[in-house]
Structure 1
Amino acid sequence: MSEHIIVERPENLAAVQVIRFNRPDKKNAITQDMYRLMVEAMRAGDEDDAVRAHVFLGTEGCFTAGNDMQDFLSYAVNGRIGEGHVGQFLKALATVKKPMISGVDGLAIGIGTTVHFHCDLTFASPRSEFRTPFVDLALLPEAGSSLLGPMTMGHQRAFAMLAAGVGFSAEEARDAGLIYKVVPEAELESATLAAAAEIASKPPQAMQIARDLLRRGDRADIVARIEEESALFGERLASPEAKAAFEAFLARKKSA
Protein backbone atom coordinates (compact mmCIF):
# COMPACT_ATOMS: atom_id res chain seq x y z
CA MET A 1 0.00 0.00 0.00
CA SER A 2 1.29 3.44 -0.90
CA GLU A 3 0.73 4.82 2.59
CA HIS A 4 3.48 2.51 3.85
CA ILE A 5 6.05 4.75 2.13
CA ILE A 6 5.50 8.48 2.43
CA VAL A 7 7.40 10.68 0.00
CA GLU A 8 7.30 14.37 0.81
CA ARG A 9 9.11 17.65 0.38
CA PRO A 10 8.65 19.73 3.52
CA GLU A 11 7.45 23.26 2.74
CA ASN A 12 10.37 24.87 4.54
CA LEU A 13 12.86 22.42 2.96
CA ALA A 14 11.84 22.41 -0.69
CA ALA A 15 15.18 21.05 -1.90
CA VAL A 16 14.97 18.00 0.38
CA GLN A 17 13.00 14.88 -0.52
CA VAL A 18 11.98 12.75 2.46
CA ILE A 19 11.32 9.03 2.00
CA ARG A 20 9.68 7.70 5.15
CA PHE A 21 8.88 4.15 6.24
CA ASN A 22 5.33 4.29 7.59
CA ARG A 23 4.20 0.84 8.62
CA PRO A 24 4.64 1.05 12.38
CA ASP A 25 2.21 -1.78 13.18
CA LYS A 26 4.63 -4.13 11.38
CA LYS A 27 7.81 -2.41 12.62
CA ASN A 28 8.13 -0.83 9.17
CA ALA A 29 8.86 -4.23 7.60
CA ILE A 30 9.46 -3.73 3.88
CA THR A 31 7.36 -5.30 1.15
CA GLN A 32 7.95 -5.48 -2.60
CA ASP A 33 5.57 -2.58 -3.13
CA MET A 34 7.46 -0.47 -0.62
CA TYR A 35 10.72 -1.19 -2.45
CA ARG A 36 9.07 -0.16 -5.72
CA LEU A 37 7.90 3.14 -4.27
CA MET A 38 11.33 3.96 -2.86
CA VAL A 39 13.01 3.25 -6.19
CA GLU A 40 10.50 5.49 -7.96
CA ALA A 41 11.07 8.26 -5.44
CA MET A 42 14.87 8.06 -5.65
CA ARG A 43 14.81 8.13 -9.44
CA ALA A 44 12.32 11.01 -9.55
CA GLY A 45 14.35 13.00 -7.02
CA ASP A 46 17.57 12.43 -8.93
CA GLU A 47 15.97 13.71 -12.13
CA ASP A 48 14.42 16.79 -10.50
CA ASP A 49 16.81 19.74 -10.33
CA ALA A 50 14.77 21.17 -7.45
CA VAL A 51 15.76 18.21 -5.25
CA ARG A 52 19.30 18.33 -3.90
CA ALA A 53 19.20 15.70 -1.15
CA HIS A 54 17.34 12.50 -0.26
CA VAL A 55 16.42 11.72 3.37
CA PHE A 56 15.38 8.32 4.78
CA LEU A 57 13.36 8.29 8.01
CA GLY A 58 11.24 5.80 9.90
CA THR A 59 8.67 6.22 12.63
CA GLU A 60 9.08 6.79 16.36
CA GLY A 61 11.05 3.92 17.87
CA CYS A 62 11.63 2.07 14.60
CA PHE A 63 13.53 2.75 11.39
CA THR A 64 12.75 -0.64 9.84
CA ALA A 65 12.88 -4.26 10.96
CA GLY A 66 14.01 -5.23 7.47
CA ASN A 67 12.11 -7.38 5.02
CA ASP A 68 8.55 -8.48 5.66
CA MET A 69 9.34 -12.18 5.90
CA GLN A 70 6.06 -13.51 4.54
CA ASP A 71 6.25 -11.15 1.57
CA PHE A 72 9.96 -11.87 1.16
CA LEU A 73 9.45 -15.62 0.98
CA SER A 74 6.61 -15.25 -1.52
CA TYR A 75 8.88 -13.65 -4.13
CA ALA A 76 12.28 -15.01 -3.12
CA VAL A 77 11.38 -18.69 -3.23
CA ASN A 78 12.57 -18.92 -6.85
CA GLY A 79 16.00 -17.69 -5.80
CA ARG A 80 16.00 -14.71 -8.18
CA ILE A 81 16.53 -12.18 -5.45
CA GLY A 82 18.57 -9.81 -7.63
CA GLU A 83 15.65 -9.23 -9.94
CA GLY A 84 12.51 -7.23 -9.32
CA HIS A 85 12.02 -4.34 -6.94
CA VAL A 86 14.50 -5.49 -4.30
CA GLY A 87 17.35 -5.73 -6.80
CA GLN A 88 16.39 -2.37 -8.29
CA PHE A 89 16.44 -0.77 -4.84
CA LEU A 90 19.85 -2.18 -3.95
CA LYS A 91 21.34 -0.91 -7.22
CA ALA A 92 19.61 2.46 -6.77
CA LEU A 93 21.42 2.83 -3.43
CA ALA A 94 24.74 2.31 -5.16
CA THR A 95 24.06 4.63 -8.09
CA VAL A 96 21.93 7.47 -6.67
CA LYS A 97 23.33 10.82 -7.84
CA LYS A 98 22.42 13.09 -4.95
CA PRO A 99 23.46 13.01 -1.28
CA MET A 100 21.56 10.64 1.00
CA ILE A 101 21.00 11.39 4.68
CA SER A 102 19.25 9.07 7.12
CA GLY A 103 17.82 9.30 10.61
CA VAL A 104 17.43 6.17 12.75
CA ASP A 105 15.35 5.86 15.90
CA GLY A 106 15.12 2.34 17.30
CA LEU A 107 15.28 -0.86 15.28
CA ALA A 108 17.42 -0.99 12.14
CA ILE A 109 17.54 -4.63 11.07
CA GLY A 110 18.92 -6.24 7.90
CA ILE A 111 18.56 -3.77 5.04
CA GLY A 112 17.66 -1.29 7.79
CA THR A 113 21.35 -1.44 8.70
CA THR A 114 23.06 -2.01 5.36
CA VAL A 115 21.33 0.97 3.71
CA HIS A 116 23.50 3.26 5.84
CA PHE A 117 26.69 2.05 4.18
CA HIS A 118 25.39 4.00 1.17
CA CYS A 119 24.31 7.12 3.06
CA ASP A 120 26.50 10.18 3.30
CA LEU A 121 25.37 11.15 6.81
CA THR A 122 23.39 9.06 9.28
CA PHE A 123 22.03 10.31 12.61
CA ALA A 124 20.75 7.90 15.25
CA SER A 125 19.08 8.11 18.64
CA PRO A 126 20.70 6.41 21.66
CA ARG A 127 18.04 3.69 21.68
CA SER A 128 18.84 2.61 18.11
CA GLU A 129 20.04 -0.92 17.40
CA PHE A 130 21.80 -2.01 14.21
CA ARG A 131 21.69 -5.74 13.49
CA THR A 132 22.02 -8.02 10.45
CA PRO A 133 20.87 -11.59 11.21
CA PHE A 134 21.70 -12.86 7.73
CA VAL A 135 23.77 -15.89 8.71
CA ASP A 136 21.28 -16.76 11.48
CA LEU A 137 18.83 -17.40 8.62
CA ALA A 138 21.52 -19.28 6.66
CA LEU A 139 21.76 -16.35 4.25
CA LEU A 140 24.43 -13.79 3.32
CA PRO A 141 25.12 -10.07 3.56
CA GLU A 142 23.47 -7.90 0.88
CA ALA A 143 23.36 -4.34 -0.53
CA GLY A 144 27.09 -4.47 -1.24
CA SER A 145 27.78 -4.64 2.50
CA SER A 146 30.31 -7.46 2.09
CA LEU A 147 32.45 -4.90 0.22
CA LEU A 148 31.50 -1.68 1.99
CA GLY A 149 31.46 -3.15 5.51
CA PRO A 150 35.17 -3.98 5.76
CA MET A 151 36.07 -0.74 3.94
CA THR A 152 34.07 1.28 6.45
CA MET A 153 34.56 -0.64 9.70
CA GLY A 154 37.57 -2.87 9.25
CA HIS A 155 37.40 -6.65 8.96
CA GLN A 156 36.71 -7.57 12.58
CA ARG A 157 33.83 -5.16 13.19
CA ALA A 158 32.37 -5.99 9.79
CA PHE A 159 32.64 -9.70 10.58
CA ALA A 160 30.96 -9.19 13.96
CA MET A 161 28.05 -7.31 12.38
CA LEU A 162 27.59 -9.06 9.03
CA ALA A 163 28.65 -12.65 9.75
CA ALA A 164 28.33 -13.18 13.51
CA GLY A 165 25.11 -11.13 13.67
CA VAL A 166 26.26 -9.06 16.65
CA GLY A 167 23.96 -6.10 17.33
CA PHE A 168 25.57 -2.65 17.50
CA SER A 169 24.30 0.16 19.69
CA ALA A 170 24.17 3.67 18.26
CA GLU A 171 27.45 4.52 19.99
CA GLU A 172 29.13 1.37 18.68
CA ALA A 173 27.84 2.07 15.17
CA ARG A 174 29.23 5.60 15.38
CA ASP A 175 32.60 4.40 16.62
CA ALA A 176 32.68 1.85 13.79
CA GLY A 177 32.04 4.55 11.18
CA LEU A 178 28.61 3.32 10.12
CA ILE A 179 26.84 6.46 11.36
CA TYR A 180 27.84 10.09 11.79
CA LYS A 181 26.29 11.27 15.04
CA VAL A 182 24.14 10.16 17.99
CA VAL A 183 21.46 12.68 19.01
CA PRO A 184 18.58 12.54 21.53
CA GLU A 185 15.31 10.97 20.33
CA ALA A 186 13.49 14.30 20.50
CA GLU A 187 16.08 15.92 18.23
CA LEU A 188 16.63 13.12 15.72
CA GLU A 189 14.31 14.22 12.94
CA SER A 190 15.14 17.93 13.24
CA ALA A 191 18.88 17.22 13.25
CA THR A 192 18.59 14.94 10.22
CA LEU A 193 16.52 17.44 8.24
CA ALA A 194 18.74 20.36 9.25
CA ALA A 195 21.79 18.50 7.95
CA ALA A 196 19.98 17.70 4.71
CA ALA A 197 18.96 21.34 4.30
CA GLU A 198 22.53 22.50 4.87
CA ILE A 199 23.83 20.07 2.25
CA ALA A 200 21.06 21.08 -0.16
CA SER A 201 22.02 24.75 0.24
CA LYS A 202 25.52 24.24 -1.14
CA PRO A 203 26.46 24.59 -4.84
CA PRO A 204 24.95 21.41 -6.33
CA GLN A 205 27.54 20.67 -9.01
CA ALA A 206 30.45 21.06 -6.61
CA MET A 207 28.62 18.90 -4.07
CA GLN A 208 28.06 16.14 -6.62
CA ILE A 209 31.71 16.15 -7.71
CA ALA A 210 32.91 16.11 -4.09
CA ARG A 211 30.55 13.27 -3.24
CA ASP A 212 31.65 11.24 -6.25
CA LEU A 213 35.29 11.68 -5.25
CA LEU A 214 34.56 10.59 -1.69
CA ARG A 215 32.50 7.54 -2.58
CA ARG A 216 34.22 4.31 -1.65
CA GLY A 217 35.72 2.93 -4.83
CA ASP A 218 34.07 2.68 -8.21
CA ARG A 219 30.28 2.45 -8.23
CA ALA A 220 30.60 -0.29 -10.83
CA ASP A 221 32.51 -2.36 -8.26
CA ILE A 222 29.70 -1.90 -5.75
CA VAL A 223 27.03 -2.86 -8.29
CA ALA A 224 29.09 -5.90 -9.28
CA ARG A 225 29.34 -6.95 -5.63
CA ILE A 226 25.57 -6.50 -5.19
CA GLU A 227 25.01 -8.78 -8.18
CA GLU A 228 27.45 -11.36 -6.80
CA GLU A 229 25.81 -11.25 -3.37
CA SER A 230 22.35 -11.59 -4.93
CA ALA A 231 23.33 -14.68 -6.92
CA LEU A 232 24.81 -16.35 -3.84
CA PHE A 233 21.83 -15.20 -1.75
CA GLY A 234 19.52 -16.96 -4.20
CA GLU A 235 21.53 -20.16 -3.97
CA ARG A 236 21.38 -20.04 -0.19
CA LEU A 237 17.61 -19.54 -0.22
CA ALA A 238 17.26 -22.84 -2.06
CA SER A 239 19.45 -24.70 0.44
CA PRO A 240 18.11 -27.16 3.06
CA GLU A 241 19.99 -25.13 5.69
CA ALA A 242 18.03 -21.98 4.86
CA LYS A 243 14.74 -23.85 4.69
CA ALA A 244 15.29 -25.20 8.21
CA ALA A 245 16.33 -21.77 9.50
CA PHE A 246 13.23 -20.07 8.07
CA GLU A 247 10.92 -22.77 9.41
CA ALA A 248 12.41 -22.27 12.86
CA PHE A 249 12.10 -18.49 12.55
CA LEU A 250 8.44 -18.60 11.51
CA ALA A 251 7.67 -21.10 14.28
CA ARG A 252 9.17 -18.74 16.85
CA LYS A 253 7.07 -15.86 15.49
CA LYS A 254 3.87 -17.89 15.76
CA SER A 255 4.62 -18.90 19.36
CA ALA A 256 5.62 -15.38 20.40
Structure 2
Amino acid sequence: MSEHIIVERPSEHGGAVQVMRFNRPDKKNAITQDMYRIMVEAMRAGDADDDVRVHVFLGSEGCFTAGNDMQDFLSYAINGRLGEGHVGQFLKALATVRKPMISGVDGLAIGIGTTMHFHCDLTFATPRSEFRTPFVDLALLPEAGSSLLGPDVMGYQRAFAMLAAGTGFSAEEAREAGLIYQVVGEEALESVTLAAAANIASKPPQAMQLARDLLRRGDRSAIVARIEEESALFGERLSSPEARAAFEAFMARKKSA
Protein backbone atom coordinates (compact mmCIF):
# COMPACT_ATOMS: atom_id res chain seq x y z
CA MET A 1 0.00 0.00 0.00
CA SER A 2 1.23 3.47 -0.88
CA GLU A 3 0.65 4.76 2.65
CA HIS A 4 3.51 2.54 3.82
CA ILE A 5 5.98 4.84 2.05
CA ILE A 6 5.25 8.54 2.38
CA VAL A 7 6.94 10.65 -0.30
CA GLU A 8 6.95 14.38 0.26
CA ARG A 9 8.82 17.52 -0.70
CA PRO A 10 8.51 19.89 2.29
CA SER A 11 7.47 23.37 1.22
CA GLU A 12 9.87 25.00 3.67
CA HIS A 13 12.71 23.69 1.53
CA GLY A 14 11.15 24.85 -1.73
CA GLY A 15 10.72 21.31 -3.03
CA ALA A 16 14.49 20.82 -3.17
CA VAL A 17 14.43 18.03 -0.57
CA GLN A 18 12.54 14.83 -1.35
CA VAL A 19 11.71 12.73 1.71
CA MET A 20 10.89 9.01 1.54
CA ARG A 21 9.55 7.85 4.90
CA PHE A 22 8.93 4.26 6.00
CA ASN A 23 5.44 4.25 7.51
CA ARG A 24 4.52 0.72 8.52
CA PRO A 25 5.28 0.86 12.26
CA ASP A 26 2.95 -2.04 13.17
CA LYS A 27 5.27 -4.31 11.12
CA LYS A 28 8.49 -2.55 12.20
CA ASN A 29 8.54 -0.90 8.76
CA ALA A 30 9.25 -4.24 7.07
CA ILE A 31 9.59 -3.58 3.35
CA THR A 32 7.33 -5.14 0.72
CA GLN A 33 7.74 -5.21 -3.05
CA ASP A 34 5.21 -2.40 -3.36
CA MET A 35 7.20 -0.25 -0.94
CA TYR A 36 10.35 -0.86 -2.96
CA ARG A 37 8.45 0.10 -6.13
CA ILE A 38 7.34 3.41 -4.65
CA MET A 39 10.87 4.29 -3.52
CA VAL A 40 12.34 3.44 -6.92
CA GLU A 41 9.74 5.58 -8.68
CA ALA A 42 10.38 8.46 -6.26
CA MET A 43 14.16 8.25 -6.69
CA ARG A 44 13.87 8.23 -10.47
CA ALA A 45 11.37 11.10 -10.46
CA GLY A 46 13.55 13.12 -8.09
CA ASP A 47 16.65 12.54 -10.17
CA ALA A 48 14.78 13.70 -13.29
CA ASP A 49 13.40 16.85 -11.60
CA ASP A 50 15.82 19.80 -11.56
CA ASP A 51 13.99 21.25 -8.56
CA VAL A 52 14.96 18.26 -6.41
CA ARG A 53 18.51 18.46 -5.07
CA VAL A 54 18.58 15.81 -2.30
CA HIS A 55 16.89 12.50 -1.44
CA VAL A 56 16.20 11.76 2.26
CA PHE A 57 15.25 8.45 3.91
CA LEU A 58 13.51 8.43 7.31
CA GLY A 59 11.69 5.83 9.39
CA SER A 60 9.20 6.10 12.23
CA GLU A 61 9.82 6.71 15.91
CA GLY A 62 11.97 3.91 17.33
CA CYS A 63 12.32 2.00 14.06
CA PHE A 64 13.98 2.73 10.74
CA THR A 65 13.18 -0.65 9.16
CA ALA A 66 13.42 -4.30 10.18
CA GLY A 67 14.37 -5.15 6.59
CA ASN A 68 12.40 -7.23 4.13
CA ASP A 69 8.90 -8.44 4.88
CA MET A 70 9.75 -12.13 4.94
CA GLN A 71 6.46 -13.49 3.61
CA ASP A 72 6.46 -11.01 0.73
CA PHE A 73 10.19 -11.49 0.11
CA LEU A 74 10.06 -15.28 -0.08
CA SER A 75 7.08 -15.24 -2.45
CA TYR A 76 9.25 -13.92 -5.29
CA ALA A 77 12.87 -14.42 -4.24
CA ILE A 78 12.66 -18.17 -3.78
CA ASN A 79 11.63 -18.47 -7.44
CA GLY A 80 14.88 -16.88 -8.58
CA ARG A 81 13.44 -13.43 -9.27
CA LEU A 82 15.50 -11.54 -6.71
CA GLY A 83 17.34 -9.36 -9.21
CA GLU A 84 14.34 -8.83 -11.47
CA GLY A 85 11.74 -7.42 -9.10
CA HIS A 86 11.38 -4.09 -7.39
CA VAL A 87 13.93 -4.99 -4.72
CA GLY A 88 16.60 -5.53 -7.40
CA GLN A 89 15.67 -2.22 -9.00
CA PHE A 90 15.93 -0.52 -5.62
CA LEU A 91 19.41 -1.91 -4.95
CA LYS A 92 20.63 -0.69 -8.33
CA ALA A 93 18.94 2.69 -7.81
CA LEU A 94 20.91 3.10 -4.57
CA ALA A 95 24.12 2.54 -6.49
CA THR A 96 23.33 4.79 -9.44
CA VAL A 97 21.18 7.65 -8.10
CA ARG A 98 22.61 10.97 -9.32
CA LYS A 99 21.69 13.22 -6.43
CA PRO A 100 22.91 13.11 -2.82
CA MET A 101 21.17 10.76 -0.39
CA ILE A 102 20.84 11.44 3.34
CA SER A 103 19.29 9.14 5.93
CA GLY A 104 18.10 9.49 9.51
CA VAL A 105 17.92 6.32 11.61
CA ASP A 106 16.10 5.86 14.90
CA GLY A 107 16.01 2.35 16.35
CA LEU A 108 16.14 -0.89 14.37
CA ALA A 109 18.02 -0.92 11.06
CA ILE A 110 18.13 -4.55 9.96
CA GLY A 111 19.34 -6.12 6.70
CA ILE A 112 18.75 -3.65 3.88
CA GLY A 113 17.99 -1.16 6.67
CA THR A 114 21.73 -1.29 7.36
CA THR A 115 23.30 -1.93 3.96
CA MET A 116 21.52 0.95 2.22
CA HIS A 117 23.58 3.39 4.31
CA PHE A 118 26.75 2.29 2.53
CA HIS A 119 25.27 4.21 -0.42
CA CYS A 120 24.16 7.30 1.52
CA ASP A 121 26.28 10.43 1.57
CA LEU A 122 25.36 11.34 5.15
CA THR A 123 23.62 9.21 7.77
CA PHE A 124 22.50 10.43 11.18
CA ALA A 125 21.41 8.01 13.91
CA THR A 126 20.09 8.13 17.45
CA PRO A 127 21.86 6.44 20.38
CA ARG A 128 19.18 3.73 20.55
CA SER A 129 19.76 2.69 16.94
CA GLU A 130 21.05 -0.78 16.11
CA PHE A 131 22.58 -1.83 12.79
CA ARG A 132 22.47 -5.55 12.10
CA THR A 133 22.64 -7.84 9.06
CA PRO A 134 21.62 -11.42 9.94
CA PHE A 135 22.22 -12.73 6.41
CA VAL A 136 24.43 -15.71 7.27
CA ASP A 137 22.17 -16.59 10.22
CA LEU A 138 19.52 -17.29 7.56
CA ALA A 139 22.08 -19.17 5.41
CA LEU A 140 22.10 -16.23 2.98
CA LEU A 141 24.64 -13.64 1.82
CA PRO A 142 25.24 -9.87 2.03
CA GLU A 143 23.43 -7.71 -0.54
CA ALA A 144 23.18 -4.15 -1.91
CA GLY A 145 26.85 -4.24 -2.89
CA SER A 146 27.80 -4.39 0.79
CA SER A 147 30.31 -7.20 0.20
CA LEU A 148 32.30 -4.68 -1.85
CA LEU A 149 31.50 -1.43 -0.03
CA GLY A 150 31.68 -2.84 3.50
CA PRO A 151 35.42 -3.65 3.58
CA ASP A 152 36.16 -0.41 1.72
CA VAL A 153 34.24 1.74 4.22
CA MET A 154 34.81 -0.16 7.48
CA GLY A 155 37.93 -2.25 6.94
CA TYR A 156 37.81 -6.01 6.47
CA GLN A 157 37.46 -7.17 10.06
CA ARG A 158 34.61 -4.85 11.03
CA ALA A 159 32.88 -5.63 7.73
CA PHE A 160 33.26 -9.35 8.46
CA ALA A 161 31.85 -8.87 11.95
CA MET A 162 28.79 -7.04 10.60
CA LEU A 163 28.12 -8.82 7.30
CA ALA A 164 29.27 -12.39 7.99
CA ALA A 165 29.24 -12.88 11.77
CA GLY A 166 26.00 -10.89 12.09
CA THR A 167 27.30 -8.77 14.95
CA GLY A 168 25.03 -5.87 15.80
CA PHE A 169 26.57 -2.40 15.85
CA SER A 170 25.40 0.39 18.10
CA ALA A 171 25.09 3.88 16.64
CA GLU A 172 28.43 4.87 18.13
CA GLU A 173 30.13 1.71 16.82
CA ALA A 174 28.65 2.38 13.39
CA ARG A 175 29.97 5.94 13.52
CA GLU A 176 33.44 4.76 14.49
CA ALA A 177 33.33 2.26 11.62
CA GLY A 178 32.43 4.96 9.10
CA LEU A 179 28.94 3.67 8.29
CA ILE A 180 27.23 6.76 9.70
CA TYR A 181 28.23 10.39 10.03
CA GLN A 182 26.84 11.54 13.37
CA VAL A 183 24.92 10.37 16.45
CA VAL A 184 22.16 12.78 17.54
CA GLY A 185 19.36 12.72 20.10
CA GLU A 186 15.98 11.17 19.28
CA GLU A 187 14.18 14.49 19.51
CA ALA A 188 16.66 16.17 17.14
CA LEU A 189 17.07 13.44 14.50
CA GLU A 190 14.56 14.63 11.93
CA SER A 191 15.38 18.33 12.23
CA VAL A 192 19.13 17.67 12.02
CA THR A 193 18.71 15.33 9.03
CA LEU A 194 16.50 17.76 7.14
CA ALA A 195 18.76 20.71 7.99
CA ALA A 196 21.72 18.82 6.52
CA ALA A 197 19.66 18.05 3.42
CA ALA A 198 18.65 21.70 3.06
CA ASN A 199 22.26 22.79 3.41
CA ILE A 200 23.34 20.43 0.62
CA ALA A 201 20.37 21.53 -1.51
CA SER A 202 21.55 25.14 -1.20
CA LYS A 203 24.90 24.40 -2.87
CA PRO A 204 25.52 24.89 -6.62
CA PRO A 205 24.01 21.64 -7.97
CA GLN A 206 26.45 20.93 -10.80
CA ALA A 207 29.47 21.44 -8.57
CA MET A 208 27.85 19.25 -5.91
CA GLN A 209 27.23 16.46 -8.40
CA LEU A 210 30.80 16.60 -9.71
CA ALA A 211 32.24 16.59 -6.18
CA ARG A 212 30.03 13.66 -5.23
CA ASP A 213 31.00 11.70 -8.33
CA LEU A 214 34.68 12.23 -7.58
CA LEU A 215 34.29 11.14 -3.95
CA ARG A 216 32.30 8.09 -5.02
CA ARG A 217 34.92 7.29 -7.68
CA GLY A 218 32.64 8.15 -10.58
CA ASP A 219 31.92 4.88 -12.38
CA ARG A 220 29.47 2.77 -10.36
CA SER A 221 29.52 -0.19 -12.75
CA ALA A 222 31.66 -2.28 -10.40
CA ILE A 223 29.08 -1.84 -7.61
CA VAL A 224 26.19 -2.68 -9.94
CA ALA A 225 28.10 -5.77 -11.08
CA ARG A 226 28.65 -6.81 -7.45
CA ILE A 227 24.94 -6.30 -6.69
CA GLU A 228 24.10 -8.59 -9.61
CA GLU A 229 26.62 -11.19 -8.41
CA GLU A 230 25.27 -11.05 -4.86
CA SER A 231 21.69 -11.35 -6.12
CA ALA A 232 22.47 -14.43 -8.21
CA LEU A 233 24.20 -16.16 -5.29
CA PHE A 234 21.46 -15.01 -2.91
CA GLY A 235 18.85 -16.64 -5.15
CA GLU A 236 20.82 -19.89 -5.27
CA ARG A 237 21.14 -19.91 -1.50
CA LEU A 238 17.40 -19.49 -1.01
CA SER A 239 16.74 -22.87 -2.61
CA SER A 240 19.42 -24.65 -0.56
CA PRO A 241 18.49 -27.14 2.20
CA GLU A 242 20.55 -25.02 4.62
CA ALA A 243 18.47 -21.92 3.92
CA ARG A 244 15.16 -23.80 4.05
CA ALA A 245 16.07 -25.13 7.49
CA ALA A 246 17.14 -21.66 8.68
CA PHE A 247 13.92 -20.05 7.46
CA GLU A 248 11.75 -22.77 8.99
CA ALA A 249 13.46 -22.16 12.33
CA PHE A 250 13.08 -18.39 11.92
CA MET A 251 9.35 -18.61 11.13
CA ALA A 252 8.81 -21.02 14.04
CA ARG A 253 10.46 -18.53 16.40
CA LYS A 254 8.22 -15.75 15.08
CA LYS A 255 5.07 -17.80 15.67
CA SER A 256 6.08 -18.65 19.22
CA ALA A 257 7.12 -15.07 20.08
Q: Same fold (TM over 0.5)?
A: yes
Unaligned runs of 5+ in 1: none
Q: How does 1:13-162 map to 2 (within 5 A)?
A: 13=13, 14-162=15-163
CA distance in 1, matches of 2:136, 2:240: 13
Q: CA deviation at 1:11?
A: 1.1
Cross-structure match for 1:3: 3
- The offset of 1:76, in angstroms, is 1.1
Aligned equivalent of 1:168? 169
Cα distance between partner residues in 1 of 2:86 and 2:185: 34
Gaps of 5+ in 2: none
User: Which segment drifts farther, 213-222 or 179-188?
Assistant: 213-222
Q: Which residue of 2 aligns with 1:205?
A: 206
Residues 173, 216 of structure 1: alpha-carbon distance in 2 compared, 3 angstrom cutoff = farther
Query: How far does the alpha carbon of each residue in 1:106-137 deviate from its partner, in whole angstroms, 9 at most, with x for none?
Result: 00000000000000000000000000000000
CA separation in 2, counterparts of 1:163 and 1:66? 17
Deviating runs (4+, > 6 A) in structure 1?
none
Shift of 1:80: 2.3
Secondary structure of residue in 2 paired with 1:123: strand
Shift of 1:216: 4.7
The amino acid of 1:154's aligned partner reads G
Measured in 2, the distance between the counterparts of 1:89 and 1:48 equals 19
Asked if residue 189 in structure 1 is aligned to residue 229 in structure 2, the reply is no
After TM superposition, the score normalised by the length of structure 1 is 0.99
TM-score w.r.t. length of structure 2: 0.99
In structure 2, distance between residues paired with 1:111 and 1:182: 20
Task: Please name the residue that 1:12 is paired with.
Answer: 12
CA RMSD in angstroms comes to: 0.7
> Identity, % of aligned pairs?
88
* Residues 80, 231 of structure 1: 8 Å contact kept: no
Measured after TM superposition, the shift of residue 228 of structure 1 is 0.3
Cα deviation for residue 217 of structure 1 reads 6.4
1:39–1:67 Cα change, 3 Å:
same
Check conservation: 1:102, 1:192, Cα contact below 8 A. yes
Q: How many residues align?
A: 256
What does the per-residue CA deviation read over 1:126-164, in whole Å, with 9 as the maximum and x for residues that have no partner? 000000000000000000000000000000000000000
Matches of 2:150 and 2:135, distance apart in 1: 14
Deviations 1:77-116, CA, capped at 9 Å, x for gaps: 2122111101000000000000000000000000000000
Distance 1:109 1:160 in 2: 15
Q: Distance in 1 between matches of 2:241 and 2:83?
A: 20
Give distance in 1, aligned partners of 2:221 and 2:201: 26
Q: Deviations over 1:170-217 (max 9, x none)?
A: 000000000000000000000000000000000000000000000156
Which secondary structure does the structure 2 equivalent of 1:78 belong to?
A: coil
- Counterpart in the other structure of 1:225: 226
Amino acid at match of 2:79: N
Closer, same or farther: CA 66–216 of 1 in aligned 2, 3 Å: farther
Judged with a 3 Å threshold, the aligned counterparts in structure 2 of structure 1 residues 216 and 139 are, in CA distance, closer, same or farther, namely farther
**1:17 & 1:239 partners in 2: Cα distance?**
40
Separation in 2 of the partners of 1:235 and 1:74?
15
